Amino acid sequence: MKKFLCAALACAVCASALLGVSGCGCSDEKKNQPGYVVPTTVPDLKDENFGFIVTNQNEVMITTFFGNTKNVVIPETFQNYKITQIGSGVFQDSEIESCEMADSIREIHDYAFSSCHNLKTIKLSKKLEKLGTNVFFNCSQIENFELPASIKSADVYCFAAAAITSVEIPESQTFTSLDQYLFFQCQKLKDVTIPPTVTKIAENTFNDCPNKITFHVVKGSYGESYAKKLAKTNPDKFAVDSK
């Protein structure tokens, strides 16, 4: 399975480069492997769990995780700064089992939780606006999460190969498009709820998901027409539930 997954994602490297994506994230091993490499950054500030970079006079971004805890809680502030971002690869390959973040977090950068194989639960910020590429790639135990209505974008491969069983896209005027390969090779995905506010979905958003996916959509919506097109082309892989 892993070899197939890596091969499939590797084939997309060239295309990803054109999209501004740094690597495919198709390997758990970072040493001597092609793909994304998180640059080494010396924190401006640190405590017993995190290293921080000061992004402006009022805010910091988490860039390093030092802690041994498996149940991570990200606070709203550190010293006199508000914590607003989780940097690239902060928790990548770590053994954390849960993560609860304050509602001050607005952005989670590329690969932040990639290949966290013990991660089962995550509580996203209610003010989260942007998810980078491969954020939850290959999180093999995380079955459910709730996307907040504040979300504006989730980049290519964001949830690829994650163990999620169902997805409910929030009804929002700011999150109207689902990017390429967003749920690529999600091995357990069976139910997807798409609100009428979604007006664009890439053809390959749900590529290579082995289970039959039922789209729960609103009659007359773009989501319904998208789902019906997939179900007509491949009825063994997709079904439509219109209400």
Q: Are 62 and 179 found together in one domain?
A: no
- CATH number at 118 reads 3.80.10.10
- pLDDT tens for 157-201 read 999 999 999 999 999 999 999 999 999 999 999 999 999 999 999
pLDDT of residue 35 exceeding 90, the answer is no
pTM of the model: 0.83
pLDDT band at 88 (very low <50, low <70, confident <90, very high): very high
- CB count within 10 Å of CB 112 equals 26
| pLDDT tens, residue by residue, 93-152 | 999 999 999 999 999 999 999 999 999 999 999 999 999 999 999 999 999 889 999 999
Domains of the chain: total: 2
Choose one of 133, 164, 195: the last residue of a domain.
164
100/110 same-domain check: yes
Residue 156 included in any domain = yes
Please give the residue range of the domain that contains residue 85. 39-164
**Are residues 173 and 105 located together in one domain of the fold?**
no
Q: To the nearest whole percent, how much of the chain has pLDDT over 90?
A: 81
Residues 150 and 203 in one domain: no
Residues 141, 159, single domain; the answer is: yes
Q: What is the structure's pLDDT at 15? A: 41
Residue at 31 is within a domain: no
Q: Is residue 18 part of a domain?
A: no
Kindly state whether residues 43 and 65 are assigned to the same domain. yes
Q: Do 180 and 159 share a domain, yes or no? A: no
Asked whether residue 6 is assigned to any structural domain, the reply reads no
Average pLDDT score over residue span 23-32: 42
Query: Which of 114, 141, 164 marks a domain boundary?
Result: 164
Residue 14 lies in a domain: no
Kindly state whether residues 84 and 50 are assigned to the same domain. yes
pLDDT top residue among 42 and 199: 199
Q: Residue 20 falls within a domain, yes or no?
A: no
200-208: Cβ within 8 A, 24+ apart: 200/176, 201/177, 201/226, 202/178, 204/180, 205/178, 205/179, 205/180, 205/181, 206/182, 206/230, 206/238, 207/181, 208/8, 208/184
